[in-house]
Amino acid sequence: MTQGDPHNLEQRLENTVQSLESEKISSNNQQLLERFYNYLVSQELSNSRVTRHLRCVKVTAEYMDGDLSTVSKSKMVELVGAINQNQIKDTELADSTKAEYRKSLIKFYSDFLDTMKDDIRQVSNDLDGEKLTDFFTSTCKTTMPDPETLPEPDTIRRLVRNAPKTRDKTLLMLLWSTGGRISEILGLKWKDVRFKQGEDKELVTVVFRETKKGENRKVPIRTGFVYLKDLKQKDPKGEDPDAWVFRSEQTKDQLSYRSAYKAIQRAERRADLEQHTKTNPHAFRKARATFLASQGMNQATLCEYMGWVQGSDQASVYIALAESDKENTVMELAGMKKKEENRERDLLPVKCHECGELNRFETENCRECGQTLTTASMFKQVQIEEKTEKFMQEIISSETKFDPQEINEKAKKFVEDEFNLS
């Protein structure tokens, strides 16, 4: 279970338990649901899972006529049909939500009632939960994400530029660069962030603790290095290992999922993104998996990076998505489309060519020496690199053999001529 409670699951569970006292639910069903709640808690399930099971069976009880304990096979067929046809609630259910309802019915009948029927007076000893639920499954078909709707590196660039706070910029960079679940990112403490800086190597490793798999996961990144470093320097609790990395400015407590989503939405409105682009926190995770697969990351590594069990169907979905994108490759080989060797390059820290300080990609002036990082200064730097490459090619292609002294003299004259330094 992720550190903290960014989804406010304890309160949601408490609200769900209180909602069992509903006029829409018979007293017998209320008693059964209360027993079901106690049973779920005894199995050491997460608050999230207990809430899901309880809510699903509660909604089922509100929809149906009669007691949950006396459901016949034909009535169960009717209930599952109502779930699949979006008749059990006023709002349309996603396929994954329908699967949760079916999973909860299986949990209630084939596990809870089968186990507890001897101790629950209103449940018949003849009840067979497994036979009652043997005609449907709790799974749903894995759907292929639409890459056209997922955020890309350019989307992240625009969002970060338009996020007003360092905290929000850092959150966006981590959502993209780590591919972490939002609960994992909001569960980070400063002790989980480890900087490693050396010659030509600036990395930060974040440790996601107590993840969905029940273990810690280390994810090394570069694109969020400077943002995390800046956030830590500005954070009054940056040296407190147990302080949350992302905190509410009002309460100073762990940032909630709702507040994090609002921060993303603020940046989205200012960035004026295309309407079809999804920016919910989970869309960034899907986008990262798609991007890594397109860059050639194999299935085993992708599972480890994203926190999936080895051999997970999830990883194969993104690998297949990358494999299916062959049209772009053919166009690149034919010269009909510019090859994007590394679309993420523009999100990396910018190193000042004067003092070597690392800066955010969006920064115009070096924070250490004040040197301009864009426009004329950067343009001249690019010119120098291009001219140097040209000079090297001249040396290589020349039939004349130069000794080191002659190369130095030629290089000196080359620079003087090209940049009027004489």
The pair of three-digit structure tokens given for residue 92, joined into one six-digit string: 């349309």
Closest to 46 measured CA to CA, from 242, 211, 260, 217 = 211
Cα 387 to Cα 406: distance, rounded to the nearest angstrom = 18
| CA distances, 72 to each of 66, 123, 176, 283 (Å) | 11, 13, 49, 41
- Alpha-carbon gap, residue 320 to 306, rounded angstroms: 16
Q: What is the DSSP string of 299-324?
A: HHHHHHHHTPPTT-HHHHHHHHHHHT
The DSSP letter of residue 211 is -
Q: What is the pLDDT of residue 308?
A: 82
- State pLDDT tens for residues 347-376: 777 777 667 777 777 766 777 777 766 534
d(CA 224, CA 347): 8
Q: What is the CA radius of gyration of the chain?
A: 29
CB 43 within 8 A of CB 80: no
Q: What is the mean pLDDT of the chain?
A: 80
* DSSP state at residue 275: T
Instruction: Give the separation between CA 284 and CA 277, rounded to whole angstroms.
Output: 11
Q: Is it the case that residue 46 has pLDDT exceeding 90?
A: no
* C-beta of residue 270 within 8 angstroms of C-beta of residue 257: no
Cα 157 to chain center, whole Å?
16
Residue 37: Cβ-neighbour burial (10 angstroms; 0-12, 13-18, 19+): buried
Give the pLDDT of residue 342: 55
Q: Given this model, what pLDDT does residue 239 score?
A: 95
Contact partners, residue 270, CB within 8 Å, separation at least 6: 162, 163, 164
Q: Is it the case that residue 100 has pLDDT exceeding 80? A: yes
Asked if CATH classification 3.30.460.10 holds for the domain at 147-333, the reply, yes or no, is no
> For the residues 307-320, what does the mean pLDDT come to?
74
**Per-residue pLDDT tens over the stretch 164-212:** 999 999 999 999 999 999 999 999 999 999 998 765 567 888 999 877 7
Residue 31 has pLDDT above 70, yes or no: yes
The three-class DSSP label of residue 416 is helix
Domain ranges in the chain are 9-132, 147-333, 384-419
In sign, the C-alpha dihedral spanning 114, 118, 119, 121 is: positive
User: In the chain, what percentage of residues exceed pLDDT 70?
Assistant: 76
Q: Is 82 exposed, middle or buried (0-12, 13-18, 19+ CB in 10 A)?
A: middle
Q: Give the three-class secondary structure for 221.
A: strand
CA distance 421 to 412: 10
- Categorize the per-residue pLDDT at 248 as very low, low, confident or very high, splitting at 50, 70 and 90: very high
197, β-bridge pairs = 202
Contact 135, 74 (CB under 8 A): no
Where do the H-state alpha helices sit in 117-256?
Answer: 129-132, 153-162, 166-178, 182-186, 225-234
- CB of 1 closer than 8 Å to CB of 46: yes
Average pLDDT over residues 101-112: 93
Q: Are strands 358-359 and 193-198 parallel, antiparallel or unpaired?
A: unpaired
Please check whether residue 205 is in contact with residue 158, taking contact to mean a CB–CB distance below 8 angstroms.
no
Q: CA neighbours within 13 Å on the CB side: how many for 135?
A: 10
